[in-house]
Amino acid sequence: MPTSAIRLVRLTGRLLLALAGIATLVVVFLALIALTDGAGSGLAAWSTTLGAGTVLALWRGRHRTWPARLVPFLPVVVAAALTATVCIPTVSRARQYPPALSFVATQRWSLSTGSRVAVYHYPPANPGPRHPVPLVYLNGGPVRGISVLDHRFLQRLARQGYDVYAYEQAGGGRSDLLSMDQYTISRSVRDLAAFVDRLNKGEVDILGFSGGGVVLTHALADPGVAARVHRAIIAEPGPMDGPTAHITGHKGRASARGLAPAMTGPRSTDIPRYAVAFGLMRLGLLTPDTGLIGQAEGVNAVTPADLGSDTASAYCARDAHRIPAEDTAQNFSFSPAASLRIQRTVKDSPSIAPQLRRSRVPAMLMIAECSSQVRQWETTVLADDPAVQRTQYMPRVGHHMWNGLDGNNGRAAAVINAFLQGKQAPLPNYPTRDEIPAFLRDHR
């Protein structure tokens, strides 16, 4: 074999060995991040990895001449540089609240639970009849700011004579953060009760969407909280308790997930620190209260593009190439750690079915044709809540039913108005409780 070929083989071997060393150190670092729960912003794992790599490099170079002793340190230096990016924040660690909206004032209410929440009020804006019962909106997320798209829909309801109130749940939007152990489904229900008490207008109608629908379902299962509710609209709810969360099944008709163009704009997951933090959190290898990134830093880091696939899943496949902008970058706010924490408390909660079966609050369930929710999450509410008076299967829409496309906002508003006014439903009452087996069998 020619000398040049031998040199090339040796060089290739050394490069592969160096790459293997770098990869090993990175894997060790990630393992230590998980074992230490990201202690000290990841510096505990980083310094331990660097120390172990240095010791190994010294051992490998012990019989070499002085200049050659530096060679084993090259993989250590490269690995140290790569992993250091996970330890360095690129956004502020102090909570940065979204700027004020131009079309509605942001009020800040201190609740008896200790939560301080951002509140939005849309008084009746029509000259005609006004609905005497206030309407409270619980947005989804959980722990997400109310999108501009949702604000527009609330304005529409106000123009129909409703006195609309909405608040961003603790930790979301312009509301103050809680300590991580305070984010529980039971705290969300207590905050709802405290909000209605603070409103001080008697019973209220409540529209709970997605995660907000889960909070509302739990509220209906609590007699003390349910006594504050006049009528309840549960729209596209997630799993209501632990047993329901563990149900596997099909979803609605095809959504735009995987079909819609990728959302443009910066992503936190393009930055190693947040890609590692959010990725390991989702895998359950970091706790929501991880020492790697603080709650406020996590909220500041997440961007609308990070949730692009989730946004696409909220629309029908037919709408994949015309998904509207749901929010602005300035108004967008989402806390992945707090959201994960609340979802886990739902998964860990016992069945609320026995309590829900005693509910007497008139309720309506709204289900989207292209729902991204497991169908049994929705039909379980219908089966277990005897006070659900009607179900409205919303055609041609995905999870986000009031999306501004075609006449979808008008159809959603008509359904809500008919129920709250006690009028005939504009859509068939479908599925009924007796029709649940056929509804699931037909993959509707």
What the block records as the tokens of 14 is 């050394």
Does 9 have pLDDT greater than 60? no
Assigned CATH topology for domain 107-265+307-441: Rossmann fold (3.40.50)
In this structure, the strands spanning 363-370 and 229-235 are parallel
* Each residue's pLDDT tens digit, 347-402: 999 999 999 999 999 999 999 999 999 999 999 999 999 999 999 999 999 999 99
Q: What size, in residues, is the chain?
A: 444
Return the higher-pLDDT residue of 186 and 7. 186
- Which stretches within 200-335 are classed as H helix? 211-220, 223-226, 242-245, 272-282, 295-301, 308-312
Q: What residues form DSSP beta bridges with 173?
A: none
pTM of the predicted model as reported, rounded to 2 decimal places? 0.92
Q: What is the DSSP letter of 429?
A: B
Report which secondary-structure segment, H or E, holds 408.
helix 408-420
Which segment of 30-39, 60-69, 85-94 scores lowest on mean pLDDT?
Answer: 60-69
Mean pLDDT of 403-422: 96
Closest CA to 164 of 145, 138, 136, 140: 136
The Cβ of residue 6 has, within 10 Å, a number of other Cβ atoms equal to: 10
Question: CA neighbours within 13 Å on the CB side: how many for 438?
Answer: 6
Tell me the pairing of strands 204-209 and 229-235. parallel
Domain boundaries, given as residue ranges, for the chain? 3-84, 107-265+307-441
Q: Which amino acid is at 76?
A: V
Q: In 3D, which of 139, 150, 177, 120 has the Cα closest to residue 300? A: 177
194: three-class secondary structure by DSSP? helix
Contact 48, 38 (CB under 8 A): no
Sign of CA dihedral 29, 30, 32, 38: positive
